[in-house]
């Protein structure tokens, strides 16, 4: 067993982040104090197990049976939990806002969590287009169990090489529509052939990433912004066509009714360059507070 120590940028509340993550999934997390994720280290599936030992300053331990590639284990572990994300500049902006000030105080240390790879994030974006998150989750679960690798009662996401060679008919059996199955297969093929270089994206600006993704079949503005905010943790990107974001923004920042995309961006304008984080905190608060106790502006 290999044990690594990670010192995330403070503040960082892993248990709170896990509670928020699980609120978006139909499966209940049995132990919110332990995060277990199946990943690939140099192509080999393994499980990373996270536990937060201290909150001030934050210290997180990562346990794994992988005894090689420690540098890669550390990189992926930090990537998964957004360890390097500095929330303090966003908090300084939010604390001057009558609604977000209360929310960031209650959700202090909350960081978004992301998939182990940008390819997985692409597939997530495609599966979640125009259907409920619960339905998309079930479809992805079938994809992972059909084409991924089981390790210690978890499943590592399929490689893009595996999905590139998978017949479209087999992807459809997992619940994807014909069109979405074609999108997933095409994206897997393009990544596997180096025609879409995902490893390059973290080095590019938001607009450069958006323009590259927007040229891909199956990736529209919502999906591109979704990958930017969730996959790359770009704090100012908002997938503003998301009906959930428009509804929650209307509830907390508007008159209570769903806002148009343009009005959402106007309402979030004071949080620039952290509009995406502001939207994430609104969604997280709504998920954890079912009765929406805050009074809309």
Question: Contact, 48 vs 76, CB < 8 A?
Answer: yes
Sign of the dihedral defined by the CA atoms of residues 39, 44, 47, 50, in that order: negative
Question: Contact, 58 vs 88, CB < 8 A?
Answer: no
Distance CA 126, CA 134 (A): 14
Collapsing DSSP to helix, strand or coil, 49 comes out as strand
Collapsing DSSP to helix, strand or coil, 81 comes out as coil
Q: Which of 13, 206, 225, 242 is catalytic?
A: 242
Question: Contact, 198 vs 188, CB < 8 A?
Answer: no
Collapsing DSSP to helix, strand or coil, 58 comes out as strand
Side-chain-side CA neighbours of 96 within 13 Å: the count stands at 6
Q: Which residues contact 220 (CB under 8 A, 6 or more apart)?
A: 129, 214
Distance CA 23, CA 25 (A): 6
Cis upstream peptide for 214 (omega within 30°): no
Based on the residue annotation, tell me whether 242 is a catalytic residue of this protein. Answer: yes
Q: Give the pair of three-digit tokens for residue 40.
A: 């690939």
Sign of the dihedral defined by the CA atoms of residues 36, 226, 103, 79, in that order: positive
Distance CA 122, CA 64 (A): 26
Distance CA 232, CA 197 (A): 14
Which are the catalytic amino acids?
A: 242
């Amino acid at each position: 067993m290999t044990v690594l120590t990670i010192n995330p940028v403070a503040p960082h509340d892993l248990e709170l982040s896990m509670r928020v993550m699980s609120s978006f999934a139909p499966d209940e997390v049995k132990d919110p104090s332990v995060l277990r994720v199946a990943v690939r280290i140099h192509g080999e599936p393994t499980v990373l197990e996270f536990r937060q030992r201290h909150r001030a300053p934050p210290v997180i331990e990562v346990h794994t049976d992988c005894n090689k590639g420690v540098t890669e284990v550390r990189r992926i572990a930090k990537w998964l939990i957004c360890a390097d994300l500095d929330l303090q500049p966003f908090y300084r902006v939010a604390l001057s806002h009558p609604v977000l000030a209360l929310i960031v105080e209650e959700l202090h240390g909350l960081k978004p969590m992301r998939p182990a790879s940008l390819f997985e994030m692409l597939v997530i974006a495609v599966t979640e287009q125009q259907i409920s998150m619960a339905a998309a989750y079930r479809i992805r679960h079938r994809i992972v169990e059909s084409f991924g690798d089981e390790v210690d009662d978890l499943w590592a996401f399929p490689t893009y090489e595996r999905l590139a060679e998978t017949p479209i008919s087999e992807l459809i059996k997992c619940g994807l529509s014909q069109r979405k199955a074609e999108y997933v297969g095409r994206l897997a093929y393009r990544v596997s052939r180096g025609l879409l270089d995902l490893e390059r994206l973290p080095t590019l600006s938001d607009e450069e990433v958006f323009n590259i993704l927007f040229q891909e079949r199956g990736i529209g503005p919502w999906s591109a912004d979704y990958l930017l905010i969730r996959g790359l943790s770009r704090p100012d990107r908002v997938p503003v066509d998301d009906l959930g974001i428009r509804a929650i923004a209307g509830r907390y920042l508007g008159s209570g009714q769903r806002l148009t995309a343009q009005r959402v961006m106007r309402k979030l304008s004071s949080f620039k360059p952290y509009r995406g984080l502001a939207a994430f905190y609104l969604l997280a608060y709504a998920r954890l507070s079912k009765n929406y106790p805050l009074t809309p502006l």
